Structure formats: C-alpha cells, structure tokens
C-alpha cells in the first residue's frame, strides 16, 4: 500500500480516486469486501454500481437469496465484493439469513459494508450492532439519504460514527453520490489508516463474566482466531451452527486459511512497494 | 495445557446453565435499546410528517376491499395492455419472419438443394423458431416491463400483505405470495425464491404449488387462445378487453388452485400450522425507467426468448422428422397423434395437442408453435397461418376445434406439469426425487382431472 500513500498522496483524495468496475473478472484480488444489511436497503444497487454487474434489483425485501460476487478496482487495489442476502438479524435460522451470517463469520471478509436505510435507521441499527459483535472492520453506508431528505429526515453521520465507533458514510447508491468516499473509507479501514472501536452491547454483568471466562478458552483452542468473543456469546446462547463448526474443526481451518491469506497479502504489498 | 473443542463446548454448557433463563431476551432487549438510543441521537426528523403520501396510498392499497379491487384492476390493466399491444407487433413479426422464410425457401428450391435439406432447415427448424419469436416476444416485451415497474414502485409487498390472510387460511406461509408472483416471470425463478421462507414445510408447499401461476412461457399461449377464440365474436376495442378478461380469469383460476392445493397439502402430507412473520412495506420509490427497460428487456425477455429458441430449434427438427418419416401409410407424427387422440378427446383436446406437450417438455413456451407445426407439417394444414382469422379458420374448419378445445387448452396449459428446467430446479432445491416427482404428479393430475371434468360437463350439457 506504500504506492498509495508515499508515491502519490493525492491518490486517496476523492477527487483523484479511480473506480474501475471489474464485473466478474476476479481471478486475482487483493481484498474481500462483504455487503450486508437489512432487506431492501439497496445492497444490490450498490453492488451493481461498484461492479458494473446487473444483479437483479427490485423494491421488495427478500429478493437476493443467494450471495453474488463481483469485483471492482479502486486506486489500483482489486477488491472482491460479496453481496449477501438481506437479514434483519444474525440470530435467526432462515436460509437466506444464515448465508449472510456464515459468510461474515467464516468467509473472513477484510471489511464489511453494512448498508442501512436512512429512512428507517433505528431498525437497521439492530443489524449493525450485531455485525459489530462479529468484526471490527466495518463501514456503515447510510443509503437513501435523498429519500430521507425528501421526508424531512436528517441523519447526522458524524454523531453516528462516534456512537458506533466505526465510520458512517452517507450515500445514494442509485445516483452514485458518496460512493467514492465510501470506497476510500473502506480502504482506510482495511489498511489500518482508520482504527475502529466498535460499540459492543455488553449484556448483564453475569453474562459478561461468562463471556470473559469462555473467550480465552476459545483462543487457546484456536490461537489467532479473530472473533473469539462473538463465538463465546453464540456458544452461551446455544447456537447449533457454531457448535458444529467448533466440533468439526472448521474453525481451525478458517484460522489456517486466514494466516495463508495474510502471508499472500504481505507478499502483494511488498511487490507493490517495489514497483 | 491443550484445549480441545470438547472442552470448550462443555465449559460453554456449564456456563450457560448457570445464567438465568431470561438472559437471551435481555441481550436482544439491550441490543434494541442501544439501537434506539443511537438512532435518536443521530436522526433528526423535521416537523410532523406522519401522514405523508405513502401512508395515505397504503391505506387504500392495503385495505380489505379497495386493496383487492386495486389488485384486480392492476392485473387487468397490465394484461389488457399486453394483449392489445402484443397483437400489433405479433402480426408484424409474423408477416416479416414468415415472408423471409418463404423467400429463403424458394431460393433453396431454385438452387436445386435436395428437398430434405430445404425441408429440414426451412419447414422444420426455421418455421418453429419464427413461430416462437413472433408468438412470444411481443407479450413479453410488454408484460415484463409492466411487471418490473410495479416491482420497482414497491407494490409487490403490498400484494403479499393483501393475500396474507388467504395463505394463512390455506396453512401456508404469507411470503408465498411473493414467490407466487416471481412465478409469473418464471416458475424456476419462483421455486428458487422460496428460500425466503424459513419453515421447510411451508417452503415445500410454496415449491409444489408454484407452477399453478402461468409463467411468461405460458402467457403467450393463453393470450393467443383468448384472442383468437374467446374474443372471436367481438369487434374492435371490445375484443381485446374480452381477451384480457379471459386471461385474467385463467390467472385467477390458477391462484385459486394455488390456495386449494396449498390447503390440501397442509391438511395431508405437509401438516402443520402457518408460521408468523414480519413483512416490511418498503416506501414507494420513483421507478428508474432506464433500468426497468434494461432489466425487463435484456435480463428477462431476451433470456427467456433465447431459452425458448434453443429448445424450439431442435423441437422443430424433431417435428419435421416425425412428419417425414413414414409409418404405415401415414407419417410418424400423424401415427402418434392418432394413437393419443382418443385420450386427448376425453380431455376435450386432441392427439396433436398432447404430442405437442410431450415434445415441448423442455420449455412450455413452444407448445403452441409445436402444435401448429404438427398440424402443418403433417400435411393437415397447407401453410403457416398469417393472421388470427386464418388461424381460427384453419383450426376450426380443418381440425374441428371448438370453444371447448380452446378453453381446455388454456386450462391444461395453466395446470399441467412444470417445464424440465423447473423440475430440475425443484430437485436441486429439495434434494429429493420424491418431491420433484410429486410436483409433476400433482400438477399433471390436476390438469387431466380438470380438463376431463369440463369436457364431460360440456358433453353432458350437449355442447359438444
């Protein structure tokens, strides 16, 4: 990433940023970005705007039932983008919501964009908070701000960012407004130029103690596991899917894969620095 | 010390048992409280806009009586637009494509190309393709954009809302109305969309009954039959209204069968209660016209048409071969059609129609073209009919079609088994040969039973 910051410091400014849609050409990519969000908040519209693909979009919840993948290149870095089915929560069991949750947990994206509907922010924040329990690398895209404005709703994204502990970017996916800012924020979060402090819902003191007791055990079992705390919470809640993943050794595989990916990315970064 | 997965799971179990039983609700509650707190700080709402336009529209669109009326009205308008618009384009395409075919054929004859090459290409493959394009393209090019427009506006979830109580009565999931509506586009797509339904029982009901709404492959058949036969006695604007009314009636019959079959299934093999769910009514949005045209024309119309053409070409070839291979003193096509004829008559249809359904299994789109091909190439008809009047004259005068034939063909087309793509999709989604076979048995059984009943009734009433 040295090329972006040292060679040409302006590359990261929105005015100079370059977005290139890559459709499904993703044989080589540097980063994985996931698109999560409640149903019907415009995830597929944003996905199409970024990748140039024509994933079917429509004004009804539940239209995307499988995940779609595409690619885009931003300031010379290639991103693989995964459009997840809309979900109201990560706690339930319907097939489309499980697809979303499994990917966030086991697909290990480098960053997750949670697309929210500015006209119904409160309901959308439930999911945002749940995603923040799983991963710190999150950017909240507050979509449909044009619609909100028409309805006399104003979203203060700075306050929102501060309260959530992760960046919140206002966008209009349909017209492309705010998309460049969103992408550079995503890049900043991935490369560690923005450090996030996600807000975590703590629960009762007894529950917190139980989580604190279980988390180090999971870390001992699978050293380097990135979201041991969330797994501890899920185990305490008796989540069958997570129990299965732990028993079958799937988690150990994920950690190994994650390590390999980091090595590969390290090599890529070094290569780019040499250019 | 090494920590094994079993250690972790056992420890989690102990810790969980020590927590009060309400702890899960407490977590969810604190999550909601936190979301509310953050939203209150970040969102400012100007003035009191509670009674905005969306809500006023929704009050009309989702009310018990006006909601249903508006739904019926919209369905009729969309189908009427499709029927009246499709006719014009269809006639144009007919003239153009068949004219080209005749011209190319005469060139081949003039060049002295062997008769069987000329016949195979121009009377077999090309004619079937020309039929498919001119029958299917026009209604799709109007219906799909209109449907996508309603989807983009945000109307579809309102329909789900309006129909929810009916599905609940039938023991099915309310989201089945969404998957049913996807079925209007393509039943295979409808079957995939049932993934939004959480309960396996209700999902199976939705899968097994999806085929009872006519997909876009079958709409052209219905529209053609309604225009040529049902609306035959009416002139001008009345004709297209009557035709549209007939198609709407068929669609409503299909919806009624969806409820009936869902109810039967939920009372027998798939017993259980309907589960509750929340459905969000999205705001009405101004549709993006360019995107609608793109989605509906490229993604849907061209996609479906291309698929139809891919199956039409070999079907045309098969029919030509059947018509030109001799079997006794008749062609093979005639022989098979005659063999199927008495069963066909029992259903108010005929042998050629049943043969067409068998050949058209890969794609319902090509049933009517295949049927016409069997009539024409078997020497029963001299050449491809160029207009509705000619078509009617030929079918009625030479093939002995009656209004009953047309109506029963519409019913059969509505109710009969899914196309091969949909059957494969059902297998993929359920991972079970049993349910895939069941979907065929249910639909085909219904189609045979219903057409047999209407044919018998007509005979009893002395109409036949």
Q: Helix A228-236 to helix A240-247 angle, to the nearest 10 degrees?
A: 120
Q: Does residue B179 contact residue B196 with C-beta atoms inside 8 Å?
A: yes
Who's near A102: CB < 8 A, 6+ residues apart? A241
Who's near B349: CB < 8 A, 6+ residues apart? B405, B408, B409, B412, B451
Selection from B229, B241, B219, B223 nearest residue B389 by Cα: B229
Structural domain of B122: 68-460
Element (H, E) at A150: helix A145-150
Which site among A43, A57, A62, A246 would you substitute to test the B interface, given the most B Cβ atoms closer than 10 Å to its Cβ?
A62
Q: What is the pLDDT along chain B (464 residues), one digit of tens a residue?
A: 677 888 888 888 888 888 877 777 777 788 888 888 898 888 887 755 544 677 788 888 888 889 999 999 998 998 888 888 887 888 888 889 988 988 998 999 999 889 888 888 888 888 888 877 887 788 888 888 888 888 888 888 888 888 888 898 898 988 898 889 888 877 888 888 888 787 889 999 999 999 999 987 788 888 888 888 888 778 777 888 898 899 999 999 999 999 999 999 999 888 877 776 667 777 787 787 887 888 778 767 787 778 778 877 888 888 788 888 877 777 888 888 889 999 999 999 999 899 988 888 877 777 887 787 778 765 544 445 556 777 777 788 777 888 889 899 999 999 988 888 889 889 988 989 999 999 999 999 999 999 999 999 998 887 65
Q: Does residue B171 contact residue B262 with C-beta atoms inside 8 Å?
A: yes
Let me know if B294 is exposed, middle or buried by CB neighbors in 10 A (0-12, 13-18, 19+): middle
- Would you say residue B46 lies in a domain? no
Distance from CA of A65 to the nearest CA of B (A): 6
Report the alpha-carbon distance of residue A151 to residue B49 in Å, rounded.
Answer: 7
- Would you say residue B222 lies in a domain? yes
Q: Helix B64-111 to helix B53-61 angle, to the nearest 10 degrees?
A: 80
- Would you say residue B140 lies in a domain? yes
- Would you say residue B332 lies in a domain? yes
Report CA B15 to chain centroid distance, whole Å. 53
Mapped onto helix, strand or coil, the DSSP state of residue A80 is strand
Residue A39 main-chain phi, psi, to 5 deg: -60, 145
As for how many domains chain B has, the answer is 1
Let me know if B55 is exposed, middle or buried by CB neighbors in 10 A (0-12, 13-18, 19+): exposed
Which site among A41, A56, A60 would you substitute to test the B interface, given the most B Cβ atoms closer than 10 Å to its Cβ?
A60
Nearest to A59 among B26, B40, B285 (CB): B285
Distance from CA of A203 to the nearest CA of B (A): 5
Nearest to B11 among A62, A95, A217 (CB): A217
Contact between chains at B288 and A174 (C-beta distance less than 8 A) = yes
Q: Which of residues 142-171 of A touch B (CB under 8 A)?
A: 147, 151-157, 159-160, 163-164
Q: Which of residues 224-253 of A touch B (CB under 8 A)?
A: 232-233, 235-238, 243, 246-247, 249
Q: Count of CB atoms within 10 A of residue B2's CB?
A: 6
pLDDT tens for A46-77 read 998 998 876 666 555 556 656 678 889 999 89
Report CA A121 to chain centroid distance, whole Å. 17
- Would you say residue B359 lies in a domain? yes
Contact between chains at A235 and B8 (C-beta distance less than 8 A) = yes
The DSSP symbol for A6 reads I
Nearest to A246 among B8, B151, B278 (CB): B8
Contact between chains at A238 and B16 (C-beta distance less than 8 A) = yes
Contact of A25 with chain B, judged by CB distance below 8 Å, is answered with: no
- Would you say residue B6 lies in a domain? no
- Would you say residue B337 lies in a domain? yes
- Chain A residue whose CA is closest to B295: A56
- Would you say residue B12 lies in a domain? no
Report the alpha-carbon distance of residue B102 to residue B383 in Å, rounded.
Answer: 10
- For CA atoms B419, B425, B430, B432, the dihedral sign is positive
The reported pTM is: 0.68
Q: Does residue A86 contact residue A115 with C-beta atoms inside 8 Å?
A: no
Q: Does residue B62 contact residue B54 with C-beta atoms inside 8 Å?
A: no
Cβ neighbours of A130 in B, within 8 Å: 31
In angstroms, the Cα distances linking B296 to A39, A53, A74, B178, B312 are 22, 15, 30, 18, 22
């Amino acid at each position: 990433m040295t090329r972006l910051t040292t060679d040409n410091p302006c590359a990261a400014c929105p005015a100079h940023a370059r977005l290139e849609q890559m459709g499904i050409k993703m044989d080589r990519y540097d980063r994985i970005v996931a698109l999560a969000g409640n149903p019907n908040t415009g995830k597929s519209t944003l996905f199409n705007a970024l990748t140039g693909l024509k994933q079917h979009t429509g004004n009804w919840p539940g239209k995307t039932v499988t995940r779609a993948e595409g690619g885009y290149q931003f300031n010379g870095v290639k991103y693989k983008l995964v459009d997840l089915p809309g979900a109201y929560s990560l706690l339930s069991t319907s097939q489309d919501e499980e697809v979303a949750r499994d990917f966030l947990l086991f697909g290990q994206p480098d960053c997750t964009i949670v697309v929210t509907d500015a006209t119904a922010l409160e309901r959308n924040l439930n999911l945002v908070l749940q995603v923040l329990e799983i991963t710190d690398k999150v950017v909240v895209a507050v979509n449909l701000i044009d619609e909100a404005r028409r309805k006399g709703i104003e979203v203060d994204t700075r306050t929102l960012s501060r309260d959530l502990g992760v960046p919140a970017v206002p966008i209009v996916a349909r017209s492309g407004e705010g998309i460049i800012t969103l992408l550079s924020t995503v890049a900043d979060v991935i490369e560690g130029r923005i450090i996030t402090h996600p807000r975590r819902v703590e629960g009762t003191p007894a529950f917190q103690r139980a989580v604190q007791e279980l988390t180090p055990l999971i870390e001992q079992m699978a050293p380097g596991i990135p979201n041991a705390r969330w797994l501890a919470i899920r185990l305490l809640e008796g989540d069958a899917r997570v129990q299965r993943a732990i028993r079958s050794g799937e988690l150990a595989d994920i950690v190994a894969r994650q390590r390999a990916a980091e090595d590969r990315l390290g090599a890529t970064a070094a290569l780019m620095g040499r250019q | 010390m090494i920590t094994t997965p079993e250690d972790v799971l056992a420890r989690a179990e102990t810790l969980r048992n020590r927590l009060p039983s309400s702890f899960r609700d407490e977590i969810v509650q604190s999550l909601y409280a936190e979301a509310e707190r953050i939203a209150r700080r970040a969102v400012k709402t100007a003035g009191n806009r509670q009674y905005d336009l969306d809500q006023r529209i929704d009050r009309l669109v989702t009310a018990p009586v006006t909601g249903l009326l508006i739904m019926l009205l919209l369905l009729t308008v969309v189908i009427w637009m499709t029927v009246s618009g499709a006719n014009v384009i269809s006639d144009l395409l007919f003239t153009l494509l068949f004219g080209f075919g005749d011209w190319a054929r005469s060139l081949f004859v003039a060049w002295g190309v062997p008769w069987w090459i000329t016949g195979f290409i121009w009377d077999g493959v090309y004619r079937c393709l020309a039929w498919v394009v001119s029958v299917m393209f026009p209604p799709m090019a109007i219906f799909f954009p209109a449907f996508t427009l309603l989807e983009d506006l945000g109307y579809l979830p309102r329909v789900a809302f309006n129909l929810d109580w009916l599905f609940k009565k039938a023991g099915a999931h309310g989201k089945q109305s969404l998957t049913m509506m996807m079925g209007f586009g393509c039943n295979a797509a409808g079957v995939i969309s049932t993934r939004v339904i959480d309960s396996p029982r209700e999902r199976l009901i939705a899968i097994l009954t999806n085929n009872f709404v006519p997909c876009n492959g079958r709409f052209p058949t219905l529209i053609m039959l309604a225009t040529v036969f049902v609306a035959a006695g009416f002139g001008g604007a009345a004709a297209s209204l009557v035709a549209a009314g007939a198609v709407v009636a068929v669609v409503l019959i299909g919806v009624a069968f969806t409820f009936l079959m869902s109810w039967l299934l939920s009372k027998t093999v798939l017993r259980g209660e309907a589960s509750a769910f929340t459905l969000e009514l999205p705001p009405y949005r101004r549709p993006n016209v360019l995107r609608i045209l793109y989605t509906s024309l490229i993604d849907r119309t061209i996609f479906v048409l291309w698929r139809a053409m891919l199956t039409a070409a070999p079907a045309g070839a098969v029919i030509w071969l059947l018509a030109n291979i001799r079997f006794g003193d008749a062609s093979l096509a005639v022989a098979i059609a005659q063999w199927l004829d008495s069963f066909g008559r029992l259903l108010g249809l005929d042998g050629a129609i049943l043969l067409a359904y068998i050949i058209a299994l890969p794609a319902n789109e090509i049933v009517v073209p295949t049927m016409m091909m069997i009539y024409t190439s078997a020497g029963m008809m001299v050449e491809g009919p160029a207009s509705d009047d000619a078509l009617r004259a030929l079918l009625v005068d030479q093939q002995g079609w009656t209004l009953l034939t047309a109506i029963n063909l519409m019913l059969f087309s509505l109710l009969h088994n899914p196309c091969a793509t949909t059957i494969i999709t059902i297998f993929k989604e359920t991972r079970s040969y049993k349910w895939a076979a069941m979907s065929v048995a249910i639909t085909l059984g219904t189609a045979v039973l219903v057409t047999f009943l209407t044919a018998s009734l007509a005979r009893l009433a002395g109409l036949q």
